[in-house]
Amino acid sequence: MENLLITNALILPMTEERDLFDGYVRVRDGRITEIGESAPRQAAPDEQVVDAKACVVMPGLVNAHTHLYQVLLRAVWEDLELMPWLKRIYGCARVLSPEHFYAGSLLGCVEAIRSGVTTVCEHNFLNPTSECASETIRAMQDSGLRAVFARTIMDSGEIVPECTKEKPEQAFRHIEAILAAHKADAQLSFMTGPNTPPINTTPALLREIRRFADDKALGISAHVAESKSVVEAVRSEHGKRGVVELLQQFAIPGKKSIFAHSVHVSTDEIDILKQTGTSVSHNPVSNMMLGDGVAPVVAMLREGVNVALGTDGAASNHSQDLFDTMKAASLLQKVHYQDAGVIKPYDVLRMATICGAKALGLENVCGTIEVGKRADLILINLDAVHIQPVNDLFSQIVHCAKASDVKSVIVNGEIVMRDRQLTRLDEAQVIAEAKAANRDLMERVSGLSF
């Protein structure tokens, strides 16, 4: 592990108490050990100096909800609403192989790194074989990212193929095996959850998931109230007014729960999220692409709900770019409330950093630049024609900066991208393998009927 001295930096710590300042950050054994506002003492002999001239140094971005392998499915099924789209995504379970998961997930990780993401939460839901999960995990580990693997379960649903439906006990044994195999990896943590309740989840499974999560001290990740059709299913099949209300009956909301989307939630349900300390992953690009609606993010923030940002999978976003997502999150709320000042750029930056870390139980690990935290940092080059001149840095990171402005990415003290070059992976090879996996998958998908 490298010891680093990042100098000449404009530092954006995202701690609120400290605003922007010129200074340096020292990293030793993967941890931030010193932050200074002046020029640093001389570099120690075992320190590598990283010159951050013309760059802002900020916490790495946290993608709180995605499905990495879906980069193989970019722009395959467009113009579909959630349910017919999901039928195809689920149907893929019949032909997806562990090789597809590895090649796709690795490409997704590379795209994440190249857009300044240092932590990714993979919400995993198709498991025709246990190797599909283990190959996804292997890809995340190979990339060097900090990762959360949310291994969710489906036990019912007309549109879910039999090969990926599981009985709770059977799924729990698989998850226990994954936990046992990876307990030594400090950069990897786990969650479980129902995938998209109630359309692929029985009440019995919801009850069992809460018991299992408590037993193993796992957080819960779920797709919640993504479209009107899901809310209609809750009303007709369960007699509840909304998905959050149904989940509350099974104690699924909680401090360690993250509800992706939460588009169609009532004021009462926002109150449940607040009272239970449940986090939300807002995925605006995916919501817009599928025509789902607009999540009431500002209302949730006003109530004090912790809102993170996610790209969602590339099958409904087309990218893994959190800069795109930050800009979309900001603009969509302005349009929704017809109020240009309804959301502050700094709040969007918080959603993409510390709020994401908190949603994933990592607020003591990353999400801000503070002594004692792991060094998950990014350098963004500000000397770009579409950024200069800088008048309001927070606004300009959210609204002007692009993924391609990320110069270097550091995860757990390791430089995984230096001057736009990956240090761990051969990018050309990752692309070539993903193209081959895509060709094979598309050939298999062409034989499916939906």
- Containing H/E element for 147? strand 146-153
H helices present in 278-344, as ranges: 284-289, 297-303, 314-317, 322-337
**For Zn ion, the closer CB: 65 or 358:** 65
Read off the DSSP letter of residue 346.
H
String of DSSP letters for 155-185: ---TTS-GGG---HHHHHHHHHHHHHHTTT-
Tokens of 379: 């350098």
CA distance 150 to 219: 8
Contact 143, 425 (CB under 8 A): yes
Residues 6+ apart with CB under 8 A from 240: 234, 246, 249
**For Zn ion, the closer CB: 312 or 376:** 312
**For Zn ion, the closer CB: 116 or 313:** 313
Tokens of 409: 């990415």
Chain residue whose CB lies nearest Zn ion:
312
Q: How far is the CB of 395 from Zn ion (least distance, A)?
A: 28
Q: How far is the CB of 370 from Zn ion (least distance, A)?
A: 30
Tell me the Cα Rg of the chain.
21
Q: How far is the CB of 63 from Zn ion (least distance, A)?
A: 11
Q: How far is the CB of 363 from Zn ion (least distance, A)?
A: 22
CA distance 312 to 328: 13
Chain-centre distance of CA 429, in angstroms?
Answer: 24
**Site of interaction with Zn ion (CB under 5 A):** 312
**For Zn ion, the closer CB: 111 or 312:** 312
Q: How far is the CB of 360 from Zn ion (least distance, A)?
A: 15
CA distance 198 to 190: 22
Q: How far is the CB of 123 from Zn ion (least distance, A)?
A: 5
Helices 345-352 and 322-337: crossing angle in degrees, nearest 10, is 140
Task: Give the CA distances from residue 175 to residues 168, 293, 299, in Å, rounded to whole numbers and listed in that order.
Answer: 10, 33, 35
CA distance 149 to 168: 18
Q: How many residues does the chain have?
A: 450
Q: Which amino acid is at 293?
A: G
**For Zn ion, the closer CB: 187 or 281:** 281
CA distance 24 to 369: 11
Q: How far is the CB of 263 from Zn ion (least distance, A)?
A: 12
Contact 411, 118 (CB under 8 A): yes
**For Zn ion, the closer CB: 208 or 312:** 312
Q: How far is the CB of 339 from Zn ion (least distance, A)?
A: 28
**For Zn ion, the closer CB: 308 or 415:** 308
Task: Give the CA distances from residue 441 to residues 132, 159, 281, 410, 444, in Å, rounded to whole numbers and listed in that order.
Answer: 14, 20, 29, 33, 5
Q: How far is the CB of 234 from Zn ion (least distance, A)?
A: 18
Q: Which amino acid is at 346?
A: Y
**For Zn ion, the closer CB: 243 or 422:** 243
Q: How far is the CB of 34 from Zn ion (least distance, A)?
A: 39
446: number of Cβ within 10 Å: 8
**For Zn ion, the closer CB: 124 or 248:** 124
**For Zn ion, the closer CB: 58 or 290:** 290
CA distance 24 to 415: 16
Q: How far is the CB of 107 from Zn ion (least distance, A)?
A: 18
**For Zn ion, the closer CB: 171 or 290:** 290
